[in-house]
Structures are given as structure tokens and as C-alpha cells.
A = this chain, B = another copy of it.
């Protein structure tokens, strides 16, 4: 290495691809060992989520969507906690510094930074002989004491989810070439929509303040609605009765369900939805729904919190409990 060249390969990689994204003054152009985050009198909400090649994304997923997913899974946590995005740091474990991969990765990340107003504050790039891994720690702000917890659900509260449930699991099924791929062989647009839902989640940050104003408890749905609802109920010391027919499905998912291609189990246990699951006191529900309407985020009441400590139950149109094969994805 030329003695005159004082920057290492890692430094020049960071300079080329990531410095242009770090426009926050506290990021110091990624030229220091640390960043400064101003709390501005608020609480700082901290969340961290990593995605691993072959586990959370596929080797041939486009780098642009991998970047978006890495950031968005964290933005989704901030949204569910009622927090406004304030910045993030990125750890990137790469096999090699491949421009053909890094350029679209940085482009996708940069676009989402702008879209969600969440600036890049710093990062670390390391080499690994193993799968790619992207770990992001994201920061949000809430007024002091106002982070929405998992543990405040009360009997009688409505159980509410945003958007639609199950699309991402179907998209992953298509990428893996299963029954869904066969069933949609002639419908390229439907396949593309579902794959997109898997690759590029739509975090509901527009709803963060409404959640903060009205929800008694909230979390994002990352490991499947059934399992995540069970976690929320356990944290709150309650149970829930869910009307499976009211779970919001996309037109495509509803058609696949009606044709018997997929069951309720896949839709509510598949994971990767990144919708918000929250509980809303009955007395606030109307105002909540109105406020949500103003944000453009669809919200659907799917059931009721009940005073019980057994796991939540999913009921069919006749009020019979639906047996679910497994609650959610677990890494171990």
C-alpha cells in the first residue's frame, strides 16, 4: 500500500457509498469515531434488528431492496412504539467490497433515508467469509415517558392491525417455488405484488403519532400475527379473541385463501408483515379510526382483548377455534 495513501479500503468504501447519505450534522460526514444524537428534550427510543442472507432475505434479492428492508424493519419498530425517526447506524458484514452490489444498496438506502426522514449517523463495515448481514440500530424520539409499550392492553380493548396480513409470507412462498407460485403461474402482477411485500415492507411511520395518542399497547408484526399477538397478550397479562374472517387480506391473498391454496395458518404465522398490531380502548376507537383515516394508513379491528391468561384464540365464522400449526418463526 502506498504510504501516501492514508485511507484504507474500508475508509474509501465508506466515503464513496455512505458519506453522501450522512447529511445530519451529528454524523460528522462519517469522519469521526462516533456520532452525536440530540434528544431535544424527548426520550430516545432505541431498537435494533439484523437481517441475514438466507434467513431474512435471499441471496439473489436485489441489493436495493435488501437495504430498504434492513432499514424498514427498524422503522417499523419505531412506528409501533409511537416514535418519530431520528437516525440510525449500520453494520455491514460483507464478503467483498463489490461495487456492483454496494452501489444499488447505497442507492436504495439513500432513497429510504429521504422518504422516512431517518438520517444515517454512522456505521461499521467488516469482512466476513459467511453470509451477508446487515444490522441496524435505529433511534426515534417520543415525548418523555410516552413510548408505547407491549404491556398496556386491557380487557375490552379492540385489537387492531394496519394494512394487510400474510402477503409477505406468500411472497416468500413464491420465491421458494411452492404451491402459491403454481397457483399464480399466470398472474405476474399478483406474484410481483406479493414478492414486493416480502422484499420491501411498508413501515407505518405515518401512524406513529396516532398510535402514541390512542393505543394502550402496540408492537409491530414481524414474526407472524399469531405469535406476536401472543407476545403482546403475555406482556399485558391478558388474552384475545380474534375473528379470523375480519383479518385484513389483500385481494390476492383472499383469493388464494378462498381457493384453498393457503390456510389461515400460513397467513397469520408466516411473518415479515411489518404491520402495526395495537390495542385501542373501546371509548377511543372511533377517534382513533378517524385520525388513522387522515394518515392514509388502513386500520382494521380484528378482535377483542379478554381477561384471561391463555394464548389468544383465532375463531372461524362459526365461533370455533382454529388450530394453528405453529405460532411464529423462531431462529433457534
Contacts and interface: CB of A to CB of B under 8 A. Distances in A.
Interface of A: 1, 3-4, 6-11, 13, 28, 31-39, 43-52, 54-56, 77-78, 80-81, 83, 87, 89-91, 93-94, 96-97, 121-131, 133, 135, 137, 139-140, 142, 144, 147, 149-151, 219-220, 223, 227, 230-231, 233-235, 310-311, 323-324, 326-332
Given A331-B9, A331-B125, A149 B46 contact: no
A35 B39 contact: no
Contacts of A135: 50, 91, 124, 135
Given A6-B231, A330-B10, A43 B33 contact: no
Contact of A36 (B46, B219, B223): B46
Given A93-B133, A131-B129, A35 B45 contact: yes
Nearest to A147: B36
A175 B169 CA distance: 46
B126 A55 contact: yes
Closest 8 A-B residue pairs measured CB to CB?
A130-B130, A39-B39, A8-B330, A9-B332, A6-B230, A97-B332, A137-B137, A34-B47
10 contacts: A6-B233, A7-B231, A8-B331, A13-B332, A34-B140, A48-B124, A50-B93, A94-B332, A96-B332, A124-B135
Given A6-B227, A230-B6, A123 B34 contact: no
Given A3-B323, A3-B324, A37-B44, 16 more contacts: A1-B330, A3-B311, A7-B234, A8-B223, A8-B329, A8-B330, A9-B331, A28-B149, A32-B151, A34-B46, A36-B46, A46-B139, A94-B332, A126-B133, A130-B130, A135-B135
A330 to B, nearest CB: 3
A31 B129 CA distance: 33
B33 A127 contact: no
Contacts of A96: 332
Contacts of A227: 6, 8
A121 B44 CA distance: 12
Contacts of A94: 332
Contacts of A144: 38
A267 to B, nearest CB: 17
Contact of A150 (B33, B126, B330): B33
Contacts of A80: 33
A144 B200 CA distance: 37
Query: Max chain B CB contacts within 10 Å: which of A34, A47, A83?
Result: A34
A90 B150 CA distance: 21
Contacts of A327: 1, 3, 6, 8
